Amino acid sequence: MSTSAPRVRVRGVVGESVERPDAVPKVKGEFEYASDLRRDGMLFGATLRSPHAHARIAGIETSAAKRMSGVRAVITSGELPTRERFGLMKLDQPVLATERVRYVGEPVAIVAADSAEEARLAVRAITVRYEPLAAITDPVAALQQGAEQLHRSGNVIDEVIVVHGDPDTRADVVVEGEYEVAMQDQAALGPEAGLAIPRRDGGVDLHVATQWLHEDLRQIAPCLGLPESKVRLVLAGVGGAFGAREDVTLQIHTCLLALATRRPVRMTYGREESFYGHVHRHPAKLFYAHGATKRGELVFVRATIVLDGGAYASSSPAVIANAACFGAGPYRVPNARIHAVGAYTNNPPAGAMRGFGAVQSCFAYEGQMDALAAKLGIDPVELRERNALRNGDPIITSQPVEGSAPVAEIVRRCADAPLPPRGPETDPIALPGGAGNLTHGEGVRRGVGFAVGMKNVCYSHGFDDFATARVRLMRDERGPLARVHTAAAEVGQGLVTVCVQIVRTELGVERVELDPPDTTIGSAGSSSASRQTWMTGGAVLAACREVKAVLLSRARATGRPPDDLAALLDEPIDKTVSHRHRDTEPRDAATQNAGHVAFLFAAHRAVADVDIETGLIKVVQIATAQDVGKAINPLAVVGQIEGGIAQGLGLAVMEEVILKDGHVRNASFTDYLLPTTLDMPPVVTLLIEHPHPDAPYGAKGVGEPPTISSTPAIVAAIRAATGRTLHRVPVRPDDIVFDEPYRSGWRITPGDDPRRAVRA
Amino acid sequence: MKLNVNGSERDLEVDDHESLLTALRERLGLPGSKNACEQGECGSCSVLLDGALVCSCLVLAGAVAGRDVRTVEALSDDEGLHPVQRAFAETGAVQCGFCTPGLVVATYALLTENPEPSDREVREALSGNICRCTGYGRILEAVQRASAAMYRR
């Protein structure tokens, strides 16, 4: 490309730390989020939800609600235009519950009224007669013979078995352990919100905060009884996502109410409703055995992983596949058997959250690596270095890691990062318990812990994963201008900046404007799986190169230099390109295939102070080394890494959606604890840049790895400080003070079918 | 009732149970203050009430009659962004941005009282503002940059 590279020096290209194009409206409070949308004559929607984890619906009475002041529509399952169901990977979820409800919070009826208050009151006036049924809330119990079947297909959502080498081989040293990861909430600050506007042609326009406009459209249109051509989705401002906006929440409901009333309808969830309204991270029970030689070379990994999918499938099949495929971590493991099953239960549905299956298994295998290091008398960092995957090594699915696999390098770089000053803290705010002033340091012990993790980037196992971008190069009174149109969801991650930087780099045009994402252009795929820089970035890059080819031919034809844009743009240049990554293979029975596009790696070291008397924890520092391929916007990459670590810290010591008999006991930010400035320590970030040959500029995804291994690193630090076992996250004060080891309540031989579990 | 919002006198009718946040967003056309937790935990709705930092979701609208309210919308003017806003934009302190208006107002309040806060003072002062995207590192840097821009040039 060097001969065609623009000679004009433009600012804000790939590799620079560029300010976000939406930063100014966001700091001024002018950026319009989905919950800020308004239209004249707009109605407000509200949802009636099930108070039961499992019940038969014997009758619904809506006449009182329909008579109330301001009420314009009340819809129950009997009034739906179709019987279609929705769901990301299985169409198993009713738009409104029909004969039975399967979780607390399942939508049963929806209302539109003149004001939000009237809609809420009308919801309360609907009476539903429920006949409660026994609820299944333990996913292992759901898999046992004789368990009540929650869906016609049974209680197994999906099952992934990885068999590699000779999994039953013996080893000099074996460690076994059972682990649990609790349910984590994405807790995006922006509530679920959308505005549906009926169209004259009988269709509807939906402005909504989502991660994937086209996937929403695919699920919404059939449930409305409309062809996709009559439903248009436009991305509204998204206040964070982290996986929670991959699923349909209020999209269909808002459209139904708008179509029924012929008026614009806005729905916005409050915080409590948001906890019930979106999917969460899968809770997991993991049963592991690791075998190694006396010198510390891994011989086998055997694991059984049970994920609680809750009442509906959502993206569970892909989460299960990730938990299994990356179940041995970024290590050379010649023999493995991983048996991962996702179960339907009567808990709230689980789905995507940052790290997507890789988080759960990483917590377990990194705990195992530390246990192995202790048993062998080898330094935990040394053990990881010794077994680290190298370029070309196969993972347990037999797929070789190609492009870049600097696992040993990130492990060593991270371990060598400077430690925080030792000295005893005197300021209570910096000690465990903080402003509670619970210690002067007398019971405080410091520990250092280490972890490394891996994950796939982009979609796996044969999914037709593509992204579309349109780039137009033109000239107006202010000079050359490039416009970019995609359907990609900016959810905060900074894709908008990446797109602008790519266009500037490729076309040498500083003025780049982005059209609002909508479904009038081809799909961009989801803003998930750390994939949008690779995919939509790749599509924008490809479209730019087609635009540039036209520019060059015009330059040749006119004898002008190719960077004389003023002379070459009498006619605009307009190119739309769909970009696909390399093919991946579908899963087979033993999951021995090239199912993934590429792999991401990060290492974390945590330093934590623990008050062994109160069980309170203060994380003092996190160091991380991450292979990002190429940092397109270094400042934004650091922001992704620090933010991802904060969520990993939350899972380690604070965040749990507490469930009791299927009820969420802490559906508020008062009771669901999120890291604040006083919880989050300084982060030392080391960016490792080994460009991946398939990725635009070599940039691998960066969003998820920070959330994967930060959690086990923090727990390892707490173990080092206290000597406690700590096989469950989040670690609670009682786990430290009373040292009750985690027990799943089940006996399963690691690697076995969890349907053969026995109550312990 | 009457109140002063961002420098102008406004007439307002509110319900008895309505929060100042709802009144600002739904009645006064000022959606910059955000609704994220509705119980004073996250600081996304931070405004200045007679100069004091409050969560507007915890203040009854009826209680602000005759008082002075300043929201994020008042910080920038025709001259451009306030140094706090400029610092947030430049340091990467903004990702999804939903917490940003509240953090900008809280930072403005902090730097008005304490022009050169230490890292620990900043952490304490902003501990009522939750950000789910950034992990706070860039935000802490933005506060120091804003302090320098406002007081140390």
Could you read off the pLDDT of B124-142 as tens digits, one per residue? Answer: 999 999 999 999 999 999 9
Residue from A92, A219, A108, A107 nearest A155 by CA = A92
- Most A CBs within 10 A among B86, B94, B96, B108, hence the mutation to make, goes to B96
Flag whether residue B44 sits within 8 Å of chain A, measured between CB atoms: yes
- Most A CBs within 10 A among B17, B132, B145, hence the mutation to make, goes to B132
Flag whether residue B139 sits within 8 Å of chain A, measured between CB atoms: yes
Overall average pLDDT of the A181-194 stretch: 98
Instruction: List C-alpha distances in Å: A366 to A288, A363, A371, A724.
Output: 11, 6, 9, 15
Q: Which residues on chain B are in Cβ contact (under 8 Å) with A24?
A: 81, 85, 89
Instruction: Decide: helix, strand or coil at residue A573.
Output: strand
Are B97 and A32 a contacting pair at CB < 8 A? no
The answer, yes or no, to whether residue A3 has pLDDT greater than 70, is no
pLDDT value, residue B152: 77
Q: Which residues on chain B are in Cβ contact (under 8 Å) with A647?
A: 132
Are A31 and B97 a contacting pair at CB < 8 A? yes
Q: Which residues contact A744 (CB under 8 A, 6 or more apart)?
A: A140, A178, A180, A285, A287, A760
- Do A197 and A39 meet the contact criterion of CB atoms below 8 Å apart? yes
Question: What tokens were used for A628?
Answer: 């990002």
Flag whether residue B18 sits within 8 Å of chain A, measured between CB atoms: no
Is the torsion defined by CA of A416, A418, A423, A427 positive or negative? negative
Flag whether residue A632 sits within 8 Å of chain B, measured between CB atoms: no
CA distance B112 to chain A (A): 18
The answer, yes or no, to whether residue A424 has pLDDT greater than 70, is no
Flag whether residue A420 sits within 8 Å of chain B, measured between CB atoms: no
Cis peptide before A730 (omega within 30 of 0): yes
CA distance B83 to chain A (A): 11
List pLDDT tens digits, range A22-65: 999 999 999 999 999 999 999 999 999 999 999 999 999 999 99
Domain boundaries, chain B: 2-74, 83-151
CATH architecture classification, A34-133+191-238+245-277: Alpha-Beta Complex (3.90)
Angle at A684 between CA A679 and CA A685, to 5 degrees: 120
The answer, yes or no, to whether residue A555 has pLDDT greater than 70, is yes
Are A677 and B31 a contacting pair at CB < 8 A? no
As beta bridge partners, residue A507 has: none
Alpha-carbon Rg of chain B, whole angstroms?
15
pLDDT value, residue B77: 84
pLDDT value, residue A65: 98
Are B37 and A680 a contacting pair at CB < 8 A? no
Residue A422 is inside which H or E element, if any? Answer: none
Considering chain A, tell me which residue range(s) the CATH 3.90.1170.50 domain(s) occupy.
34-133+191-238+245-277
- Most A CBs within 10 A among B39, B47, B98, hence the mutation to make, goes to B98
> CATH for B2-74, among 1.25.40.10, 1.20.140.10, 1.10.10.1100, 3.10.20.30?
3.10.20.30
The answer, yes or no, to whether residue A7 has pLDDT greater than 60, is no
Are B123 and A678 a contacting pair at CB < 8 A? yes
List pLDDT tens digits, range B68-94: 999 999 999 887 999 999 999 999 999
Q: Which residues on chain A are in Cβ contact (under 8 Å) with B146?
A: none
Q: Which residues on chain B are in Cβ contact (under 8 Å) with A646?
A: 132, 134-136
Whole-number Å distance between alpha carbons of A570 and A564: 12
pLDDT value, residue A622: 98
Whole-number Å distance between alpha carbons of A455 and A401: 11
> CATH for A2-31+466-580, among 3.30.365.10, 3.30.200.210, 3.90.1150.10, 3.10.450.710?
3.30.365.10
Q: Which residues on chain B are in Cβ contact (under 8 Å) with A606?
A: none
Of A4-8, A685-689, B96-100, the one with minimum mean pLDDT is A4-8
Residue B89: which of A24, A186, A642 has the nearest Cβ?
A24
Q: Give A403's pLDDT tier (boundaries 50, 70, 90).
A: confident
Overall average pLDDT of the A142-147 stretch: 97
List pLDDT tens digits, range A644-693: 999 999 999 999 999 999 999 999 999 999 999 999 999 999 999 999 99
The answer, yes or no, to whether residue A435 has pLDDT greater than 90, is no
Residue A677: which of B96, B104, B126 has the nearest Cβ?
B126
Alpha-carbon Rg of chain A, whole angstroms?
26
Overall average pLDDT of the A499-505 stretch: 98
* Shared fold status for B2-74 and B83-151: no
Q: What is the residue type of A187?
A: A
Are B92 and A646 a contacting pair at CB < 8 A? no
pLDDT value, residue A556: 96
User: Whole-number mean pLDDT of chain A?
Assistant: 96
Whether complex ipTM tops 0.90: yes
Other CB atoms within 10 A of residue A154 CB? 13
Whole-number Å distance between alpha carbons of A329 and A394: 12
List pLDDT tens digits, range A629-649: 999 999 999 999 999 999 999
Are B137 and A639 a contacting pair at CB < 8 A? yes
Q: Which residue has the higher pLDDT, A579 or B77?
A: A579
Flag whether residue A607 sits within 8 Å of chain B, measured between CB atoms: no
Question: What tokens were used for B55?
Answer: 């969560």
Residue from B23, B5, B35 nearest A270 by CA = B35
pLDDT value, residue A625: 98
Quick one: how far is CA A84 from the chain centroid?
27
CATH architecture classification, A280-459+588-754: 2-Layer Sandwich (3.30)
pLDDT value, residue A9: 79
Whole-number Å distance between alpha carbons of B85 and B77: 11
Flag whether residue B42 sits within 8 Å of chain A, measured between CB atoms: yes
The answer, yes or no, to whether residue A2 has pLDDT greater than 90, is no
CA distance A638 to chain B (A): 9
Tell me how far apart the terminal alpha carbons of chain A are, to the nearest angstrom.
65
Q: Give B153's pLDDT tier (boundaries 50, 70, 90).
A: low
Flag whether residue A87 sits within 8 Å of chain B, measured between CB atoms: no
CATH class of B83-151: mainly alpha
Q: Which residues contact A698 (CB under 8 A, 6 or more apart)?
A: A629, A630, A689, A690, A691, A692
Q: Which residues on chain B are in Cβ contact (under 8 Å) with A32?
A: 31
Flag whether residue A683 sits within 8 Å of chain B, measured between CB atoms: yes
Are B95 and A492 a contacting pair at CB < 8 A? yes
Flag whether residue A643 sits within 8 Å of chain B, measured between CB atoms: yes
Residue B42: which of A117, A189, A241 has the nearest Cβ?
A189
Are B39 and A669 a contacting pair at CB < 8 A? yes
Q: Which residues contact A216 (CB under 8 A, 6 or more apart)?
A: A206, A208, A210, A233, A248, A251
Residues 97-136 (A) with a CB less than 8 A from some CB of B? 117
Flag whether residue B97 sits within 8 Å of chain A, measured between CB atoms: yes
Overall average pLDDT of the A186-201 stretch: 98
Angle between helices B137-151 and B83-91 (to 10 degrees): 140
- Most B CBs within 10 A among A18, A19, A26, A27, hence the mutation to make, goes to A27
Q: Give A426's pLDDT tier (boundaries 50, 70, 90).
A: confident
Provide the percentage of residues in chain A whose pLDDT is more than 90: 95
CA atoms within 13 Å, Cβ hemisphere of A416: 8
Q: Give A446's pLDDT tier (boundaries 50, 70, 90).
A: very high
Flag whether residue A492 sits within 8 Å of chain B, measured between CB atoms: yes
Q: Which residues on chain A are in Cβ contact (under 8 Å) with B41?
A: 668-670
pLDDT value, residue A138: 98
Whole-number Å distance between alpha carbons of A353 and A704: 9
Q: Which residues on chain B are in Cβ contact (under 8 Å) with A29?
A: 30-33, 71-73, 100-101, 104
Q: Which residues on chain A are in Cβ contact (under 8 Å) with B138?
A: 635, 638-639, 642
Cβ contacts from A onto B, under 8 A: 184
CB crowding A197-226: b at 16 or more within 10 Å, else e: bbeeeebbbbbbbbbbbbbbbbbbbbbbeb
Whole-number Å distance between alpha carbons of B92 and B100: 11
Whole-number Å distance between alpha carbons of A748 and A155: 19
* Ramachandran assignment for A587, one of left (phi > 0), alpha (psi -120 to 50 degrees), beta (any other): beta
Q: Which residues on chain B are in Cβ contact (under 8 Å) with A636?
A: 92
